[in-house]
Amino acid sequence: MRTNVALNAYRNWLERQRARGAARSGTLSRVLENTVWLLGGKAVGAILSLVYLGLATRTLGPDLFGQFVLILGTGQAVGAVVTFSTWQVVVNYGMPHLHSGDRDALGRVLAFCIALDFGAALLGCLIATIGVVLLGPALGWDATLSRDALLFCFVMLLSFRSTAIGILRLHDRFGMAATADSVTPIARLIGALVVVLLFRPSVTGFLIAWAVAELLTAAAHWVLALREARGALVPAHWRGIVTAGRDNPGLWRFAAITNMGTTLNALGKQFSVLLVGLVAGPAAAGGYRLAFQLGRALAKLSDLMSRSAFAELARVHVAHTAAQLRKLFRHATRFSVVAAVVIVALLLLIGKPALGLVAGRDYLSAYPLLLMLGTAAALDIGGSSFEPALMATGRAATAFRLRLWSTIIQAALLAALLPTWGVTGAAVATLAASALSLLLFGIATWRLIYRTPAAEIGVPDGA
C-alpha cells in the first residue's frame, strides 16, 4: 500500500513538473534556465580550464605549448569540416515528432543522425591522415609527433556525441547535458596533474590526457541520452534510415547546410590558429590560441545562449504563435546585448591580470590579442539569438549565406594582414568578421521576425 501511495505521489509530482514546463514554454525564463544549466557545467569547466591551461603553458614552454595547440587545432579543424551538427538536425526535425508523439518517426531521425555522425567520423580520419602527412613537415613535426597527432585526431573524431547532445536538448534535459559536459574539464585537469606530477611533462602526455577526456565525455553523453531515447532507438528504426530523408522533407539539405555552416565557423577559429603557426611559428600560434581561449572563456555565454535559444525557438515554432516567437526573440536579444557589454567591461578590468595569472609573465604580451579576440566573442554574444532564429524557422540556407560572406571577408583580411602584421593581423581579421557577422545576421533576423507575415514564418498568428 505504501509503495502505491509513493508511486502515485511521484506520478503526480511528475505531471506537475511537466505542466509547469509546458506553461513556461516559449518564454525567456525557459531560455535562461536552460542557459543556467549549461553555464553550471561550463562554469566549473571554465575554472578548471584555467588550472590545466596554466599547467600546460608553464610546464611545456612557448614552443612546445605552441606545438600542442597546433595539434589540437588540427583535430578540431578536421572535425569541424566533416561534422554535420546533428544535434541541430535532431532538435529541428525531432521536435514535431516528439510533439505529436510519433516515436517511430523520431527514432528514424535519430538513427539517421547517428549513421551520419559515424560516417563523418570515418571520413574525418581519412582527411586527418592526409592533413598530418602534408602539414606535419611544415609545422616542424617529427615522425613521433606526427604519429601522436594522427592518433589524437582519430580519438577526437570517433568520440562523436552530437546526436546524443541533440537528444538531451530535444527532451529539455539541459541539466543532464551540463553534467556530461563537466566530464571534459574534470578529466583534463586530472590528466594534466598526472602528466605533471607523475611523468615528465610532454606534448604526448597532454595529448593522451585530452584524448581520454574526449572518450569519457562522449560516453557520459551517450549513457544519459540513451536513457531519454528509450523506445525511440530500436532495431526497426535502423532499417528506416534510408526512408528518413523522404519522411522528413529537407532533411538532407538541412544537414548539409549545418555542416557547411560549422565548417565556415571553424575557418575563422581553428584554421586561423593553423595559419598563424604556418606563417609565424608554433610559439606565436600558442600565444594566439591562449588569448583566443581566454577570450572565449569570458564570452562562453554566447555559445550557451545560442544553444538554449535554438531549442526553445524550435519549440515555439512548432507549438506557439508568431507573437510569442517575436516576444521571445526580443527578450533574448536584450539579454544578449547586456551580457556583451558586461564581457567587454570584464576584459578591460581583469583581462590582463587573468592572462598573467593563468599563463605567467611570458604571455602578458598577448593581452592586445586577448582584448581583440574577447571583444569579437562579445559581439558574438550580442547576436547569439540571431542565427538560432533563422535555423529554427527554416532559414538555414540564409544563415549559411550570411556565414559564408563573413568568412570570405575574414579569409581576405587574414591573407592581407597575417603576412605583415602577424598574430595581430589574425586578431584584427577575427574581430572584423565578428562585427560583420553581427550586422548581417541582425538585419536578416529583424526582417524575418518583424517584417515577414506569420504564415511565411511558419507559425500561426495571434496574440
Q: Which residue has the higher pLDDT, 143 or 266?
A: 143
- The CA-atom distances, in angstroms, between 63 and each of 70, 274, 283 are 11, 14, 5
- The CA-atom distances, in angstroms, between 238 and each of 88, 104, 120 are 20, 10, 17
Judged by average pLDDT, the poorest of 28-37, 149-158, 390-399, 443-452 is 28-37
Residues 259 and 335 sit within 8 Å (Cβ to Cβ): no
pLDDT of residue 454: 60
Q: Is the pLDDT of residue 122 over 90?
A: yes
Strand runs labelled E in 226-328: none
Provide the CA 226 distance to its chain's centre, in angstroms: 21
- The CA-atom distances, in angstroms, between 319 and each of 25, 166, 241 are 9, 19, 26
Q: Is the pLDDT of residue 295 over 80?
A: no
What average pLDDT does the segment 304-323 reach?
53
* Percent share of the chain, pLDDT over 70: 78
Q: Is the pLDDT of residue 35 over 70?
A: no
Average pLDDT of the chain is 78
* Range from 104-108, 318-322, 392-396 that averages highest in pLDDT: 104-108
d(CA 387, CA 305): 11
**Does residue 399 sit in helix, strand or coil?**
helix
Residue with cell 534556465: 33
Q: Is the pLDDT of residue 422 over 80?
A: yes
Q: C-alpha angle 247/248/249, rounded to 5°?
A: 110
3-state secondary structure 10-76: HHHHHHHHHHHHHHHCCCHHHHHHHHHHHHHHHHHHHHHHHHHHHHHHHHHHHHHHHHHHHHHHHHH
pLDDT of residue 49: 76
- Cβ partners under 8 Å of residue 423, min gap 6: 276, 280, 284, 287, 288, 369
- The CA-atom distances, in angstroms, between 208 and each of 23, 52, 131 are 46, 14, 20
* Percent share of the chain, pLDDT over 90: 18
What average pLDDT does the segment 373-402 reach?
80
pLDDT of residue 395: 79
Judged by average pLDDT, the poorest of 19-28, 291-300, 317-326, 425-434 is 19-28
d(CA 463, CA 453): 14
Q: Is the pLDDT of residue 458 over 50?
A: yes
Q: Which residue has the higher pLDDT, 369 or 154?
A: 154
C-alpha cell at 4: 502505491
What average pLDDT does the segment 382-411 reach?
80
Q: Is the pLDDT of residue 420 over 80?
A: yes
d(CA 325, CA 315): 10
Residues 201 and 195 sit within 8 Å (Cβ to Cβ): yes
* Range from 21-35, 191-205, 272-286, 326-340 that averages highest in pLDDT: 191-205
C-alpha cell at 135: 602539414
- Helices marked H in 229-250: 235-238, 241-247
Per-residue model confidence as pLDDT tens digits over 316-352: 555 455 666 677 677 777 777 777 887 788 888 888 8
Q: Is the pLDDT of residue 301 over 70?
A: no
Residue among 430, 306, 432 at smallest CA distance from 314 = 306
What average pLDDT does the segment 204-228 reach?
93
Q: What is the pTM of this model?
A: 0.72
Residues 165 and 132 sit within 8 Å (Cβ to Cβ): no
Q: What is the CA radius of gyration of the chain?
A: 22
Residues 315 and 455 sit within 8 Å (Cβ to Cβ): no
What average pLDDT does the segment 63-88 reach?
85
Q: Which residue has the higher pLDDT, 333 or 38?
A: 333
pLDDT of residue 235: 72
